[in-house]
Amino acid sequence: MILQNATDPVVVINTNYGAVFVELFQGQAPITVANFLSYVNQGFYRQSPPRHLLP
């Protein structure tokens, strides 16, 4: 889910432990943000297991 506010988009990552809100800094990394949002909009991360787990 993507939330739009006045400045930068916010992506909501739903986990078993609750929601994580990630603000994307479009002004500082416009190409990276656009690329990430294109993957999100395509459903690329839906039902995807975590890639990196930190203890």
pLDDT at res. 46:
84
pLDDT at res. 15:
82
Average pLDDT of the residues in 22-43: 92
Query: CA nearest 13: which of 36, 42, 46?
Result: 46
Provide the edge-to-edge strand list for the sheet that holds 2-3. 2-3, 10-15, 18-23
Average pLDDT of the residues in 12-24: 87
- pTM of the full predicted structure? 0.71
pLDDT band per the 50, 70, 90 thresholds, residue 3: low
> Would the pLDDT of 41 be above 80?
yes
Region of 54 (left: φ > 0; alpha: ψ -120 to 50; beta: rest) is: beta
Provide the token pair at 21: 């809100």
- By the 8 A CB rule, do 37 and 9 touch? yes
Average pLDDT of the residues in 21-41: 92
